[in-house]
Amino acid sequence: MAATVAAAAEAKGRQHTGKAVGLAAHDASGHLAPLTITRRSTGDDDVAIKILYCGMCHSDLHSIMNEWNNAMYPMVPGHEIAGVVTEVGKNVTRFKPGDRVGVGCMVISCQSCDSCDEGFENTCRGGIIFTYNSVDRDGTVTYGGYSTAVTVHERFVVRFPDAMPLDRGAPLLCAGVTVYSAMKHHGLLDANGDAPAGRKKQKHVGVLGLGGLGHVAVKFAKAFGMKVTVISTSPAKKQEALDRLGADGFVVSKDAEEMKAAASSMDAIINTVSANVPLAPFMGLLKPNGKMIMVGLPTKALEIPPFDLIMGNKTLAGSCIGGMRDTQEMLDVAARHGVMADIELVAADYVNTAMERLAKADVRYRFVIDIGNTLKNSE
């Protein structure tokens, strides 16, 4: 594949006239270092963006370490991109220079299949092109948001509401839409992306794992009037879950008595865990007809006894980010409810240390790289 990609890139290289600086991994060590990269010229349907901030997702760590066995090096990760428009193509009508915008996990789809027509580009039948580590339509490899600039088709750019700061909003472009879409399309929200009007009974939602995804899930669920219980292996997170994030309950998953007390109490569980954990104990927390919705990405296959699904009429489901309509809707709803990520803003030269800390879950709750003020000094 590498030879094919290289040949295609050389043939199409004339279209990539823009220059940018990225933070790239060159091998499975995952070490990131500055690298000059090219960006394509602004096409008729494109939006060129100066990147100011980029969130650091746990999937970035998986990718640069080649834990999913699909890495194409050099790799510039990052799919939680926030910045300002610098140029637009002649066909672009939704954006103009100076607009505050974002780019999430994908940069193009076929735009013609049933999924795309219905606003679910994330399940495009023609195959989506991811923001990084993906082969683009012209044969070049996509580079992500750990960089100073990017050029993206208008359809895959979203607008930041005035009330949403770019730094704390950047992680919502992956973490936010991931949990929001899971709630919306699995019956916890109405078609307009809010709690159903006139709901007679409050939904009880468990959030498994309190990290980058989990803390945003708690915030959205509380904003929508749900009862929220955080499920974690770490008793040390109890106070922050209850006092800082506003959760209603906290269950230590290693405590058999706490797990027993919470049995059959939850309508749904948003599973944000990327580690390989047995699911059977957590299925026991669901009410009959409850749903376990997977949004984390463990590296190994899941194991669950069929009886844990069948005897309670329970569902094990997955949810993959969200389409562009849901992404814009999520940002608008988040701004309306004051939902933002809790972040630690870091400089470009701290990114390798941040990755080490991310691997240890030593962040509350999302690292965001200050691209605009620090990466330009790393050339």
Whether 336 is in a domain gets the answer no
Strand 81-88 versus strand 158-159 pairing type: unpaired
Same domain, 215 and 280: yes
Q: Which of 53, 127, 104, 55 is nearest to 327 (CA)?
A: 104
Same domain, 147 and 9: yes
Whether 324 is in a domain gets the answer no
Write phi, then psi, for 204 (nearest 5 degrees).
Answer: -110, 115
Q: Which of 109, 31, 28, 40 is nearest to 71 (CA)?
A: 28
Q: What is the CATH number of the domain that holds 84?
A: 3.90.180.10
Q: What is the CATH number of the domain that holds 260?
A: 3.40.50.720
The C-alpha atoms of residue 32 and residue 281 are separated, in whole angstroms, by: 38
Q: Which domain holds residue 106?
A: 2-171+342-378
| pLDDT tens-digit readout, 141-161 | 999 999 999 999 999 999 999
Whether 105 is in a domain gets the answer yes
| pLDDT tens-digit readout, 173-211 | 999 999 999 999 999 986 666 666 556 688 999 999 999
> Above 50 in pLDDT, residue 9?
no
Q: Is 69 left (phi over 0), alpha (psi -120 to 50) or beta?
A: left
Q: What is the residue type of 309? A: L
Whether 266 is in a domain gets the answer yes
Whether 246 is in a domain gets the answer yes
Looking at the structure of the chain, the number of domains it has is 2
Mean pLDDT for 94-112 is 97
Whether 207 is in a domain gets the answer yes
> Above 90 in pLDDT, residue 375?
yes
Strand 343-346 versus strand 366-370 pairing type: parallel
Which pair of structure tokens corresponds to residue 176?
Answer: 């936010």
Same domain, 75 and 123: yes
The residue behind tokens 């009974």 is 201
Whether 234 is in a domain gets the answer yes
The C-alpha atoms of residue 245 and residue 24 are separated, in whole angstroms, by: 34
Same domain, 306 and 361: no
Mean pLDDT for 128-138 is 95
Same domain, 282 and 308: yes
Same domain, 16 and 127: yes
Same domain, 7 and 143: yes
Collect all residues with Cβ–Cβ distance below 8 Å to 359 and sequence separation of at least 6.
61
Query: Model pTM greater than 0.85?
Result: yes
Q: What is the DSSP string of 253-292?
A: TT-HHHHHHTTT-EEEEEE---S---SHHHHTTEEEEEEE
State the greatest distance between any 2 C-alpha atoms of the chain, in Å, as a whole number: 64
